Amino acid sequence: MNNKIVLSGDIIASTSLTDEEKSVLELELKALISLLEKDFFIYGRIIKGDYLEMVVENPHEALAVAIIIKCYIKSIFIDSKIEASRSKYFKNYGIRLALGYGELTRYDKVSEVIDGEAIYYSGRKISEERPTYNKERIVIKNTLFFNSGDEKLNDNINCILGLLDVLLNNATAKQCEILYLRLLGNSEKEIATKLNIKQPTVNKQLSSVGWNAIERATSYFKSTFLALRKIW
């Protein structure tokens, strides 16, 4: 069985963006997909400018890809004209992402066809976990979710995602930029050169954002799904 992971994600508070800001966001999402294609076997597409669907052909890489997506979006600078009361949601959370694990009965990049249980699992989960509204306040409990046909696997992975949510949602834009560059395989020295900052600053920011825990989480996710591939 050749299972894959499909990521379904929607940008938080995107309806409050101006048309100009939405255009900037869509260009950034396209740049993100191109960036990921260099290092991972993925196929991504943007729907209506603020909804992302991505097939991760090697499931064990999916958590790293998801964190890169979330951090990249949180690091985007938009000289925001968003309503002040809602701008914080975009800046703090960036995107909600659901990872669906299962078969794809139809998958054709050329024809842009993605069909099967993996995309159903991710799409269903992102719909089920929509933010709630309390008067004019948006209530967002979590932004990272996992869904498959295996409830034990769901519980294990969602436990990790819940902890990562806390770290990533509290991370600054600069910490997110450093983190996604690190997950793309850049050394601290290379990141320092790219961002024109000092290497100790990179190290300090990675420590502050919880790099050791994030690295352990992605390693656990990788080993779990490599083991599943052997079983199937």
pLDDT (0 to 100) of residue 224: 96
pLDDT (0 to 100) of residue 173: 93
Instruction: Average pLDDT across each block of 10 residues of the chain; the chain has 232 residues. List them in order.
Output: 91 79 87 94 91 96 97 80 62 91 93 94 91 67 94 97 95 95 96 96 96 97 91 59
Residue-by-residue DSSP string for 148-184: -S-HHHHHHHHHHHHHHHHHHHT--HHHHHHHHHHHT
pLDDT (0 to 100) of residue 61: 97
Residue 77 burial (10 A CB sphere; 0-12, 13-18, 19+): exposed
Q: How far apart are CA 43 and CA 28, in angstroms?
A: 16
Nearest to 33 by CA among 1, 2, 69: 69
Q: How far apart are CA 153 and CA 164, in angstroms?
A: 17
**Phi, psi (5° rounding) for residue 99?**
-105, 120
pLDDT (0 to 100) of residue 231: 65
- Per the CB < 8 A criterion, the answer to whether 116 and 98 are in contact is no
pLDDT (0 to 100) of residue 60: 97
